Amino acid sequence: MIDSAFRFVRISTMKTIPVLLLALMAAITTHAADAPAGKTETAIIGGGCFWCTEAQYLLLNGVKKVISGYAGGHKDNPTYEEVCEGTTGHAEVIKLEFDPAVVTYREIIDLFWQAHDPTSVTTEDMYKHGKFLPKGTPYQGNDYGTQYRSAIYYLNDEQKKIAEESKAAAQAKYFKTVPIATEIAALKKFYPAEGYHQNFKERNPNQGYVRAVVDPKTEKFKHKLEEEGKIKADKK
């Protein structure tokens, strides 16, 4: 009788353990499915030629992805050639996907004022690069036209508030005598640029514009990030 009772307990236990294991595995699986993946946020900024701003922000720790593209205009699905004509209303911009636990939107915008010249519109009619520029034409270095204007396109009211506060702080700190000309507007739609524009500096290290313009601007931005401890470990 004792032997029978022992066998009953052993069999009951053998049946119970798999059931408990299955329940435990199900709980773990459910928890993993419910756990949020790495959260990312989006920022869209334009600071002249997107080859420059893309290369600069790819160095920033917390930035997961950078896509060059167009925004701020009225033409659907614009091509690079159309944007260069200055008739689409679009600006060359970059779309940043970033980890807010590593770098904040405010930090991205604070760095924006030093990544390019946000005051770059002519204050009077002039000749530049052999072409007449009407008063107020945006430019960045040797690039001129509305497609190279300084711009921040916000995705929500919080981003708008942060951008405006950051702009005011930068105006008081860095540009006391010249007004910042950066456009701050709600994003209508972002259009990715053609594939050959993506990661342009990395893929075209010996291209003339890259060596003459992109490299110096990127190197300067890199030193700024190093000073502030915000550069990616593999970019030092």
Q: Please report which helix (H) or strand (E) contains residue 153, including its range.
A: strand 150-154
Residue with tokens 């990312």: 40
CA neighbours closer than 13 Å in the CB half-sphere of residue 56:
29
Please identify which of the residues 44, 45, 49, 91 carries the catalytic annotation.
Answer: 49
Q: Please report which helix (H) or strand (E) contains residue 98, including its range.
A: strand 91-98
In contact, 125 and 134? CB cutoff 8 Å: yes
- Two tokens at 27? 């709980």
In contact, 128 and 139? CB cutoff 8 Å: yes
Residue with tokens 């701020």: 72
Rounded to whole angstroms, the Cα distance separating 66 from 155 reads 16
- Two tokens at 56? 């600069």
Residue 49: active-site member: yes
In contact, 122 and 193? CB cutoff 8 Å: no
Rounded to whole angstroms, the Cα distance separating 130 from 168 reads 35
User: Dihedral sign, CA of 134, 135, 138, 142?
Assistant: positive
Please give the positions annotated as active site: 49
